[in-house]
Amino acid sequence: MSNKFEIDPLLDFDLLKKLVVGIGEVSDITGVPTRKIRYWEEKGIIESEKEGEGTTRRYNYLNIKKILLIQELIEEGFTLDAAAKKVEDRMKNINEVFLKLANSASNKKEVE
């Protein structure tokens, strides 16, 4: 029915959830300067997880994925805003799938 069994061994969501990095690493990974990342966040285009007031930004898999997608569209010739809007739509699907997989993975663990 699903391809759950194929990707299951590859995706450890419990690990993935812990895989959270600072803005510097995001910049290294994506090639987007830190100042630019913050600017995009100011504009409401991307989000980061702040673990409280007066703390530093933290980025998880989905946050970083979004940044990468936006960058791609900009390179394709889209406006920043247009790229943001397009990615917004795509992220809805990605989030959905991600959560679905994450849940089925943790359910499985409970059964074990």
C-alpha 9/C-alpha 40 separation (Å) is: 35
Kindly state the smallest distance separating residue 24's Cβ from a second copy, in Å. Answer: 30
- 6/89 with CB nearer a second copy: 89
Which chain residues interact with DNA by CB under 7 A?
22-25, 33-36, 38-40, 48, 51, 54-57, 74, 79-82
Q: CA-to-CA distance for 78 and 40, rounded, in angstroms?
A: 15
Report what 54 binds from DNA, a second copy, none; CB cut-off 5-8 Å by kind. Answer: DNA
Q: Is 44 in the site for a second copy (CB under 8 A)?
A: no
- For 29, the token pair is 């990974």
Of 64, 67, 83, 87, the one binding a second copy by CB under 8 A: 83
Contacts 24+ apart (CB under 8 A), 21-25: 21/58, 21/59, 21/64, 22/56, 22/57, 22/58, 22/59, 23/48, 23/56, 23/57, 23/59, 25/59
Interacting residue with a second copy among 85, 100, 108, 109 (CB under 8 A): 85
What's the DSSP call for residue 43? T
User: Is the CB of 7 or the CB of 82 nearer to a second copy?
Assistant: 82
Question: Binding of a second copy at residue 78 (CB under 8 A)?
Answer: yes
**Quick one: tokens of 104?**
């089925």
Query: What residues line the site for a second copy (CB under 8 A)?
Result: 76-79, 81-83, 85-86
